[in-house]
Homo-oligomer: A and B are copies of this chain.
Amino acid sequence: LNDGMFVHVRRMLAQMPACDVALLLQSTPVAGRKILWQLTDPEQQGEILEELNEDAMESILKMMDPENLAAATEGMDIDDLSYVLRSLPADIYQQVLEQMDSEERHRVEIALAYPEDTAGSLMNNDTIALRPDISVDVVLRYLRLRGELPEATDALFVVDKDNKYLGDISLARLVTVDPKEQVAAIMGKRPERIIPVSMHEGQVAQLFERHDWISAPVVDPNGQLVGRITIDDVVDIIREDAEHSMMGMAGVDDDEDTFAPIWQSTRGRTLWLAINLLTALMAASISNLFENTLAQMATLAVLMTIVPSQGGIAGTQTLAVVIRGLAVGHIGESNTRWLILKEVAIGVLNGIIWAIVIALVVTLWKDSIQLGLISAAAMFADMFMAGLAGVCIPLVMKKIHIDPALAGGMVLTTVTDTVGLFAFLGIATVLLNHHIAI
């Protein structure tokens, strides 16, 4: 690229499918991305935009003017288009809307009226709807006249004259039944397959995953067909959801673009580091309470970090299991109590196991049974708390609508650090104050 072989690159890009160009753009640092983007075929730009992830898309949208944007977005699927528009700054957004023809603008405005993260913002309106009283033969003739079908069409929907959803016919059924059959006679009803327009996208994804759907109809509160959701959009949500948990627990924004500029990435990670510094200072202020004890016996300073570290890991394990259970919908009212008891029991078991281990290690290392017993007591207390906090924190957060994947880890380690330090240094202080040699 540095050789200035622009013509060559341009030809190469034009021959690649949009999804590969998108992958290439996402794997390129932002500076190079700009050049690459200018070399892409303007006709293909809409398709490429659809395939990009949020952060990479924003980095590219920023360098386009509204006119080019309106041109590039022409012919985009309505769900992708509204996704692009939602991520634009308000003024550019208005300008792009103005550049569109009125029919397109109308379509987009309807899609944008649905709240983000709901089935409404996820759906496409490229449904093919049939009446129940026609024969399969007529349907086939209609389809042949129509030509191509929208992407990921595995079923046609059946509606009455008020556009109320009645059922569906899969293409597989359409090609295997007798052409003389009536649509009404062969359509599937499956009321559990109908998705209300206001359903949360996470729930939509769970349904698709559980039932192995390829597409599903979306209806408004009156039961009228308003669009359909296809598996390719659901796959993106499943990937995003799962990434969100992982990145959230690691303290990074899940939209972070791997190849974003340095300053942007640093800024995005600052909040989490600031919060962590506060919790680290809190832990330090706990040991600060015991400064006299630490001054009497430096060995305590050496050993005091072991218990909180082990408690933090045990708590994080429980936290991860519970967050995953919540995400895939396995945890509900009926089994919460059982789950809490289970994780607390694991905490107790872990407490016993690691108390024994640490007692042996410390006694042998520091040649002091007292230090071994103090470590063991602190370890037991911290492992117990780790189990309890690990299961309760995400459950409570979920109840009060805080995302446990984001805040759970920090709160948890604050708890395990506090308990671990307090128990260890507290017991040691009591013994020292009673002039018991340790």
Contact = CB atoms under 8 A, between A and B. Distances in A.
Contacts of A283: 305-306, 309
A2 to B, nearest CB: 12
Contact of A298 (B243, B269, B294): B294
Contacts of A171: 154, 171-172, 174-175
A321 B256 contact: yes
Instruction: Tell me the dominant secondary structure on chain A's binding face.
Output: helix
B259 A358 contact: no
The CB with the most chain B CB atoms within 10 A, among A154, A177, A300, is that of: A154
A214 B252 contact: no
Interface residues of A, number: 117
Interface of A: 17, 19-20, 23, 26-29, 51, 140, 143-144, 146-149, 151-154, 171-172, 174-179, 192, 208-212, 214, 231-232, 234-236, 238-239, 241-243, 245-247, 249-252, 256, 258-259, 262-263, 265-266, 269-270, 272-273, 276-277, 279-281, 283-284, 287-288, 291-292, 294-295, 298-306, 309-310, 313-314, 316-317, 319-325, 328-332, 334-335, 338-339, 342, 345-346, 349-350, 353-354, 357-358, 361
27 contacts: A27-B331, A51-B210, A143-B176, A154-B171, A171-B172, A208-B235, A209-B236, A242-B246, A243-B324, A246-B324, A249-B250, A250-B316, A258-B324, A262-B342, A262-B345, A263-B349, A273-B317, A276-B313, A280-B305, A280-B309, A283-B309, A287-B302, A291-B298, A295-B295, A298-B301, A301-B301, A305-B305
A433 to B, nearest CB: 16
A246 B320 contact: yes
Given A23-B329, A313-B272, A342-B29, A249 B249 contact: yes
Nearest to A285: B302
B27 A332 contact: yes
A311 to B, nearest CB: 10
Given A149-B175, A152-B214, A301-B301, 8 more contacts: A23-B210, A148-B172, A247-B321, A258-B330, A258-B339, A280-B305, A283-B306, A284-B306
A193 to B, nearest CB: 11
Contact of A258 (B148, B232, B236, B321): B321
Contacts of A277: 306, 310, 354, 357-358
A10 B144 CA distance: 48
Max chain B C-beta neighbours (<10 A), residue from A208, A263, A324, A345: A324
Contacts of A246: 242, 245-246, 249, 320, 323-324
Contacts of A279: 309
A177 B250 contact: no
In order of increasing CB-CB distance, the 4 nearest A-B pairs are A242-B242, A301-B301, A250-B320, A246-B246
A20 to B, nearest CB: 8
B321 A306 contact: no
Contacts of A314: 269, 273
Contacts of A251: 313, 316-317, 320
A269 B317 contact: yes
A147 B175 contact: no
Contacts of A29: 335, 338, 342
Contacts of A149: 172, 175-176
A351 B270 CA distance: 11
Contacts of A192: 17
A302 B325 contact: no
A63 to B, nearest CB: 19
Q: Quick one: which of A149, A256, A280, A291 has the most chain B CB within 10 A? A: A280
Nearest to A208: B235
A51 B238 CA distance: 17
A324 B243 CA distance: 8
A176 B146 contact: yes
Contacts of A179: 144
A250 to B, nearest CB: 3
